[in-house]
Amino acid sequence: MGEANLVNGEIDEVIGQFQMEGKALEKKPYGNGHINDTFLVVCETPEGKKRRYILQKMNHSIFKAPEQLMENVVNVTEYLRKVILAQGGDPDRETLNVVKAKSDSSYYVDQKGDYWRMFLFVEGTVCLEMVESAKDFYDSGVAFGNFQKMLAGYPAKTLHETIPNFHNTPSRFQDFQKAVQEDKMGRAASAQEEIAFALARENDTKVLTDLLKAGELPLRVTHNDTKLNNILFDEDTKKAICIIDLDTVMPGLSHYDFGDSIRFGASTGAEDEKDLSKIEMDLELFEAFTKGYLEGCGGSLTEKEIEMLPMGAKLMTYECGIRFLADYLEGDVYFKIHREGHNLDRARTQFKLVKDMEDKWTEMAAIVEKYKNK
């Protein structure tokens, strides 16, 4: 069913199930997210003020356990509210706030079995879709570093893994090996160079998880979707004020968020660029994000965590590459493609970035060292 039909029909019944202030005057589809159906609901309070809310139908074909997901979101946002209040901030704007259903649950299940949730709308903010300058990327680093700092005291192991083994690189490597061995589509012959590149780096896959097992890296609360458009910026000051889209908040390593940010934010070309001469890891952008991230973290990371940040960038890029390559070998069943060999092109850009990082390793380590005491 399309969003327009939802707006005209059953959505009124859903809106009535949440603890909003006042009466709903208007509702319309909102934003350009790919996962959940999102609506903006405008209410009028008894005092005649306008109050806005975000209503979402959750996609439980991707998130198989919406109850656990919402437990994560509620627990993390309530913890953030306390931290923000203690810092003298505005918790209505600096974190997402879940609006409970009338049953006091954090979600509502309709007659079809669809899961719905509601958040306060964060007023006076804008969202950026793309990194347009080193300053944007620095601001993004500060925002995600600050998110890490605010949650440094949160017991990460109590969070549910909403997508099991999401950034477990050894597990992803096993999936890749299986795809190579089975070669279901007979495509391995066309990707020999890429397969060899991936297999040659098997030892790297365990570096971070082994350090975690040995107690040398701490388990952290990780966001796992650190795109620029998951940050809300104040429309006047242009400062980052709120991290949104907490659906993939899970226990993990700080290197996952740092590394994935570098993977897509410091690349000089598109993720599916065919001309690999256009692809490199821009050291200026790497420095901008690293500076911002470590400033935002404000001393909450351990020395070992900081030392291993370049490995986070390399491993998240490598992991993404082997996922694209495995999907190509399996017949493009996970990532949508728009042309023949699309996933192979994507794998090639990731591996080009990995190789470029390896060539710039000394410079990356020096940049991390330069900002480690910020």
User: Do 199 and 96 sit in the same domain of this protein?
Assistant: no
pLDDT on residue 4: 46
pLDDT on residue 164: 87
Question: Per the structure block, which two tokens stand in for 321?
Answer: 């590459």
| CATH number, position 63 | 3.30.200.20
User: Do 113 and 190 sit in the same domain of this protein?
Assistant: no
Task: Identify whether the C-beta of residue 72 lies closer than 8 Å to the C-beta of residue 223.
Answer: no
Task: Identify whether the C-beta of residue 93 lies closer than 8 Å to the C-beta of residue 123.
Answer: yes
pLDDT on residue 118: 98
Q: Is 261 inside a domain boundary?
A: yes
pLDDT on residue 1: 41
Q: Which amino acid would we find at residue 227?
A: K
User: Do 304 and 200 sit in the same domain of this protein?
Assistant: yes
User: Do 117 and 145 sit in the same domain of this protein?
Assistant: no
Q: Is 90 inside a domain boundary?
A: yes
- Using DSSP's 3-state secondary structure scheme, residue 253 falls into coil
Distance (Å, whole) CA 19 – CA 274: 50
User: Do 14 and 160 sit in the same domain of this protein?
Assistant: no
Please provide residue 230's backbone torsions phi and psi, each rounded to the nearest 5 degrees: -100, 15
CA torsion through residues 301, 305, 311, 316, sign: negative
Range of the domain at 94: 3-122
Residues of the chain with pLDDT under 50: 1-4, 7
Q: Is 128 inside a domain boundary?
A: no
Q: Is 127 inside a domain boundary?
A: no
User: Do 83 and 141 sit in the same domain of this protein?
Assistant: no
User: Do 88 and 141 sit in the same domain of this protein?
Assistant: no
User: Do 96 and 8 sit in the same domain of this protein?
Assistant: yes
Domain boundary pick from 122, 156, 188? 122
Distance (Å, whole) CA 358 – CA 60: 39
User: Do 141 and 21 sit in the same domain of this protein?
Assistant: no
DSSP 272-283: T-S-GGG--B-H
User: Do 294 and 317 sit in the same domain of this protein?
Assistant: yes
User: Do 142 and 15 sit in the same domain of this protein?
Assistant: no
